[in-house]
Copies of this chain bind each other. A is one copy, B any other.
């Protein structure tokens, strides 16, 4: 029997991510992660020294990664800043399952930020990188003339993140993808209002 150390760790991480996303961190059960992976407790505690450490790894290696792939990477590309943001927002998974499960970042922030400073710091890092990425893109858009001159990029970035997370909450509570999609339309509408006056689309005047 060959050993797959790294693979075992990754499987545990993935199962832990699902479990935490479902139940939150405090109520996430080590035993059910074990059951989902057919890994034993000894193996888990060989790879992670505690439940906390496993939770931190989920945040750093799973949730942060998701944010980078969904937001930061697409925002690196060339093109009209507003168009890019609209595209990213529209590409957020909107299936019933995704909407019902909600954003793991949101869940863990609500649950853990006041309780565990190390958890909070790791989540905050993600939020800050996220906002900074948006702000950078908006600044670039301003310099290219595709974003209104009077816009405060940092404020707009936090506003975008807040509305996305806010609608995420409403949709998760409603357990209804339609609520999410209506939210996206409103967010897109707001994003369009960030274009310079009279500029309806990139490179085209009204």
Q: Give the interface of A toward B (CB within 8 A).
A: 22-24, 26-27, 100-102, 106-107, 109-111, 113-115, 120, 123-124, 127, 155, 158-159, 161-167, 169-170, 172-175, 179, 182-183, 186
Interface contact B155-A162, CB-CB below 8 Å: no
Interface contact A100-B114, CB-CB below 8 Å: yes
Interface contact B24-A124, CB-CB below 8 Å: no
The interface residues of chain B lying within 8 Å CB-to-CB of A173 are: 109, 113, 120, 123-124, 127
Interface contact B169-A106, CB-CB below 8 Å: yes
Known A-B contacts: A120-B175, A163-B163. Give 16 more (CB < 8 A). A23-B26, A23-B115, A27-B27, A102-B110, A102-B114, A106-B110, A109-B172, A111-B111, A113-B173, A124-B173, A158-B183, A162-B162, A162-B186, A165-B166, A166-B167, A166-B169
Nearest B residue to A22, CB-CB: B114
Nearest B residue to A169, CB-CB: B165
If A110-B172, A169-B109 touch, whether A182 touches B155 (CB-CB below 8 Å) is yes
Q: How far is the CB of A78 from chain B (nearest CB, A)?
A: 29
For the complex formed by this chain, how many copies does it contain in all? 2
Interface contact A162-B163, CB-CB below 8 Å: yes
The interface residues of chain B lying within 8 Å CB-to-CB of A182 are: 155, 158
Among B162, B164, B172, the residue within 8 A (CB) of A183 is B162
Nearest B residue to A179, CB-CB: B158
Among B110, B158, B186, the residue within 8 A (CB) of A186 is B158
Q: How far is the CB of A64 from chain B (nearest CB, A)?
A: 14
Q: How far is the CB of A115 from chain B (nearest CB, A)?
A: 7
The interface residues of chain B lying within 8 Å CB-to-CB of A159 are: 163, 186
Interface contact B172-A158, CB-CB below 8 Å: no
